[in-house]
Amino acid sequence: EPFQPFSDKLSQHPRTESEWENSFALKMFLFQFVNLNSSTFYIAFFLGRFAGRPGKYNKLFNRWRLEECHPSGCLIDLCLQMGVIMFFKQIWNNFMELGYPLLQNWWSRRKMKKGGGGGGGGQNVENKTQLPQWDKDWNLQPMNAHGLVDEYLEMVLQFGFTTIFVAAFPLAPLLALLNNIIEIRLDAYKFVTQWRRPMPARATDIGIWHGILEGIGVLAVITNAFVIAITSDYIPRFVYAFKYGPCADKRCLKGYMNSSLSVFDMWELKNSSEFRYCRYRDYRASPWSTPPYEFTLQFWHVLAARLAFIIVFEHLVFGIKSFIAYLIPDMPKDLCDRMRREKYLMQEMMYEAELEHLQKERKKNGRRYHHEWP
């Protein structure tokens, strides 16, 4: 057997079943999270960022142009993507979650009716009402070997979709609530009528899922800060209203659209179009400037404002979160004091019982007992 580091063996072969379940749940979550969220992260932060400008577009293998955002901005594309995920994907998940066991149970009943029990038993099996209850239960679908990992995974992924890009699609929490109201009844019907009764198992808490939910919460704050600052037009509008607008005292957006568009000379492409100049979304110098098509000062002001907003937004939200967590602790102070007191009393009782046992042993062995530490 090839040599493996001790840490690698520990990670691949956990000591207990709960550690194995936590490791399996974490790996499944990471796989599903990357698989399902890669498109949304691409649209939010990479789509159209490296496309270039007219006359100097970046091309893949010097042949294909990189795709760009919608003319109204990348936020619209992200909103449409989130709408499709939160509406159609949840409907499809509910359909598959209930439809698959229904189909399996129907097929097993059909096989029983066709196969029968051999000899004259087929007539008894053909009548469903004559089957014993344990046979009916046994013919249902067995529960997943991993228990409720799939159910937890579905809810955690939905929580991620609901929170990570909520700034781009504010209807996500409402759609998630409506889906959960429906799914509660579908899961109840599935567990009672379509699955075998699972073996009960005790659990002190939800395991590693608590840490995963906390990680998603932290990621959601960072992602929404970047969505507001980079993907949306909030910061460019803010900078224009306070710095470049014609009415700085009223903070209006008059002329913002013209300010956010740059000019390109079509004659540089040797195009015989009747229009010489075209406009595109960017903050670049005009073709008659020296040097042409360089980033303007407004571009750097917008970039600095975006970075400042990300830092301020994250610190503000994390500060409010920490303050609320301090005001509302997970365990009340009086309960902590009572638990601490019970632990102290338990230790006192154990000490007194041990002391009494030692005193009896010494008297039994004929040793003289003095009031010293046992």
Tens digit of pLDDT at every position of the chain (374 positions): 444 444 444 456 777 777 888 888 888 899 988 988 888 888 888 887 777 777 777 777 878 877 777 777 778 888 888 888 888 888 888 887 777 777 877 777 777 767 654 444 444 444 545 767 766 777 777 777 676 888 888 889 989 888 988 888 888 889 989 988 988 888 888 877 877 777 777 777 788 888 899 899 899 999 999 988 888 888 888 888 888 777 766 777 787 788 888 888 776 777 656 677 788 788 888 888 788 878 888 888 888 999 999 999 999 999 998 898 888 887 888 888 899 999 999 999 999 888 888 888 887 776 554 555 44
Measured CA to CA, the distance from residue 157 to residue 175 in angstroms comes to 14
Measured CA to CA, the distance from residue 69 to residue 146 in angstroms comes to 42
Q: How far apart are the first and last CA of the chain?
A: 53
* pTM of the predicted structure, to 2 decimals: 0.72
Measured CA to CA, the distance from residue 117 to residue 119 in angstroms comes to 7
Measured CA to CA, the distance from residue 35 to residue 161 in angstroms comes to 13
